[in-house]
Chain A
């Protein structure tokens, strides 16, 4: 095991995490939970690229998530476009928006970037809530089901495997990015901006690439959720949703691929397990964030990996 390239090890582990539970799920409900975890994990990997590798923060990523989702509602319902094609268009739109907005915004750093992304997310949410003629207003819109080769994709089981496949692809791309020249440039940026610039790495260009990529990931996740659920609501773009996504990164481990899945799993599964304590959900979320950021800053996955490393193979 130790002889395998770490990148392959990670991808293999992810494959196992996707396939093994899928073979033993007792019912539709569990498939649904699994699909929800994978869908969130895709978005989380995107934010992880931004936060973990490039050291940026985005408090408005739910906005891109919602764009992916709403494209699957608006384009088929109002313009008769096939849902899967609509998903693609939505993802491209999110990327374009990220590109357009990213160029000026990414020149800011730290708190200013936080405010700008926050504002962007809120603005997207406002448009989705108010432009009823387009978006169906505060109660959202129905999303028609996608079909592939005549098979209507609507069951939780379908979506478990679809989102699992997409997750694996997303992880594979991210893992390859990490070791690519772009990835190395990003890590250099995060570690020392000045040194990186001195070496000729044009920070602005790489930051933009990551920002657009993370937006694309979020939009893909949003599109999957929309097609799975059959509906979208403006809540998909809410500040709370953005905070939840960031929390998944924090809990799972910044910069860790497996961590992205773990973080998503914790935040999706915990409310289901603790339904009796629903009153305490917000409180618990806050406490988790604080505990992890203070004591387990690398998150669960790298923390456990460190445990493995300490013992001789």
Chain B
């Protein structure tokens, strides 16, 4: 009996100790990403980027002399866990700001916690609903899915492609981008003749593509989705002899898409951050240096090809660090004000100009239209 009591007491203490936050005085930045689970495609590069650059910044003297402590959790793509970690970051770890939220689902689950606690939150997820309507403490760095649609339709219009088909993934990203696309297509004179969907874990889309192929007069195909689905769509399309121009989304902005899709990726177009073509940018391009720096660093540190998802984490972290520097304080409200005042920040995704009504800060020109040629990214045409 006595042994059991001692054991229980000991175990409880151990649990509590593990849960207790560290007590050193530093600037605490919190993060929660989906490093495991169905969105690990997004979360892993984000986690690696955040960890590496926090280390770099601390080596260079930190922010105004203070070291950054990064408290980062993995939500596994689960919105409920994201909510729990958000609460933990605010209550237990007492962070002054957060950069994270790999998916729209996990972001939206966490937003109420940060808004309530008045802690600034820079999200790394895509959907436009994160910043529209604008919430006081919530920002985001990736281009919105609506911008992706607009960029694609703009390009289609230029090439005279007005009747198209759409095949989208039923995951959060694919669905919300598909919803945005059907809202804006008319504005560009593009008609969506037919639509199909596929599950994010599906391994074969020939049935859906066969149906689309049968639609007379279809001039192009657009595929909102992320992960391996778009690669399979691309391969299946080639296999079926579906020879119309194929547009992917920025959800596939990493070399692994080209690897997986193989020869079928030739000629595919997608809107993406300049990061992917950093080495091909003209020297006069203001983004070239930052993008190239990040690309080389990331590839050297991780041994994996760079992806725009890690780039968004880089942008988020740097914007936050810049804001803390300018605020000269660790007060969350002051940090928030400075984030909102970010102007002319050159990141991997574009040049950010935030305002009180625009908590994303990128314009349509921050997106570049890329085309895959000879197994590599190239700029589709002069901007």
A and B in contact, CB less than 8 Å: yes
Interface size on A, as a range, is: 35 or more
Interchain CB contact (< 8 A) of B105 among A140, A271, A279: A140
From A27, A236, A272, A307, residue with most partner B Cβ within 10 Å: A272
B99 part of interface (Cβ distance < 8 Å): no
Q: Which residues of A contact B105 (CB under 8 A)?
A: 138-140, 233, 235
- Give the segment of B73-81, B146-154, B346-354 that binds chain A: B73-81
Contact A269 B84, CB 8 Å, known A130-B170, A138-B175, A281-B36: no
B18 within 8 A of A: yes
Which secondary structure dominates where chain A touches chain B? Answer: helix
| Bound-state Cα–Cα, A21 to B170, Å | 42
Chain A, residue nearest B3 (CB):
A307
Query: Are A129 and B36 in touch, CB under 8 angstroms?
Result: no
Mask, A128-154, CB within 8 Å of B = 1, is 011010000111100000000000000
- Do A139 and B88 contact each other (CB < 8 Å), given the known contacts A235-B79, A235-B80? no
In the bound complex, how far is the Cα of B104 from the Cα of A132, in angstroms?
A: 16
**A229 interface residue (CB < 8 Å to B):** yes
0 or 1 for each of B82-96: is its CB under 8 Å from A? (1 = yes):
011001100110000
On whether the beta carbons of A32 and B36 are closer than 8 Å, the reply is no
A278 at the A/B interface (Cβ < 8 Å)?
A: yes
Known contacts A273-B18, A281-B36, A311-B1; A27 and B73 CB within 8 A of each other: no
Partner of A137, one of B1, B73, B87, B172: B172
Known: A132-B175, A233-B105, A279-B36. A29 touches B92 (CB 8 A): yes
Q: In the complex, what residues of B have CB within 8 A of residue A282's CB?
A: 36
27 interchain pairs, CB-CB under 8 A: A27-B91, A28-B91, A29-B88, A29-B91, A33-B84, A36-B84, A129-B170, A130-B170, A132-B179, A137-B172, A137-B176, A138-B171, A139-B104, A139-B105, A139-B176, A229-B109, A230-B112, A233-B79, A233-B109, A235-B77, A272-B88, A274-B18, A278-B35, A278-B36, A278-B74, A282-B36, A308-B1
Contact B76 A278 (CB under 8 A): yes
Interface flag for B9 (CB, 8 Å): no
Q: Is A89 an interface residue (CB 8 A)?
A: no
- With A139-B108, A229-B109, A231-B109 already in contact, the answer to whether A272 and B84 are too (CB < 8 A) is yes
